[in-house]
Amino acid sequence: MSPTALAIVRAFIRLARGIEYKWLFAWIFCSYIVIAMIAMVSRKACGVDRNRDKPTVIHLQHDRSSERNCDKHIILYEHYLQLTQRGYDKYAELFTAYLEITGKNEELLEKYDKVVEAYKDLARAHTRIAEINETFMRTYNRYATEYGHVALCFGYALRGYGQAVRERGHTSML
């Protein structure tokens, strides 16, 4: 013990020797009550409630850990928002690229439609050419048959003329 505390205890002991014991107990009890009242008043003045004081340490620790958890949650939520924003940005880029490709596909489909129409026109032209060829072949066959007879007759006529010229001896005409 410190010398001051020993001096105070000795002073109380000297005071107690001069007082009768019943008054000593009364004096100790009253001083205890006065000290307890002073402590309660000082605690109330400081804004500390005794009923809240016991769990206050636990509550403070809980509040601190809750604040840390909230801070961590806020940090994680901000990170989540950043990732979500990056995801939305990437989705927007991909969707824009998709729309560009779709636009190009539409242009290609329009060009393909034109090519298909050109092929249809070409097929119609081939069909018409085939019809013309068929008509030509029928006409050719008909005329070939007719002109074949004429050529045959003309050939016979030339042959006969050639024989007649030879027989007469006029070779200058051949």
Residues 41 and 58 both lie in one domain: no
- What would the pLDDT profile of 92-117 be if each residue is shown by its tens digit? 888 888 888 888 888 888 888 999 99
Residues 31 and 103 both lie in one domain: no
Query: What is the per-residue pLDDT for 102?
Result: 84
CA–centroid distance for 101 within its chain: 17
Residues 55 and 35 both lie in one domain: no
Assess whether pLDDT exceeds 70 at residue 172. no
Helix, coil or strand: residue 1: coil
Residues 33 and 56 both lie in one domain: no
Q: Is residue 172 within 8 Å of 160, Cβ to Cβ?
A: no
- What would the pLDDT profile of 2-48 be if each residue is shown by its tens digit? 778 788 778 877 776 666 666 667 777 888 888 888 877 776 656 55
Average pLDDT value for residue range 135-163: 76
Output the CA–CA distances (angstroms, integers) from residue 150 to 89, 116, 145, 156, 174, in the order listed. 88, 49, 9, 10, 22
Residues 84 and 166 both lie in one domain: yes
Query: What is the per-residue pLDDT for 120?
Result: 93
Residues 20 and 81 both lie in one domain: no
> CA-based diameter of the chain, in Å?
199
Residues 40 and 112 both lie in one domain: no
Range of the domain at 79: 49-173
Residues 80 and 166 both lie in one domain: yes
pLDDT-derived band at 50, boundaries 50, 70, 90 = low
Quickly count: other Cβ atoms within 10 Å of residue 27's Cβ: 14
Which amino acid would we find at residue 117? E
Residues 88 and 104 both lie in one domain: yes
Query: What is the per-residue pLDDT for 20?
Result: 66
Place of tokens 């769990």: 55
| Kind and range of the H or E run holding 86 | helix 50-168
Higher pLDDT, 148 or 95: 95
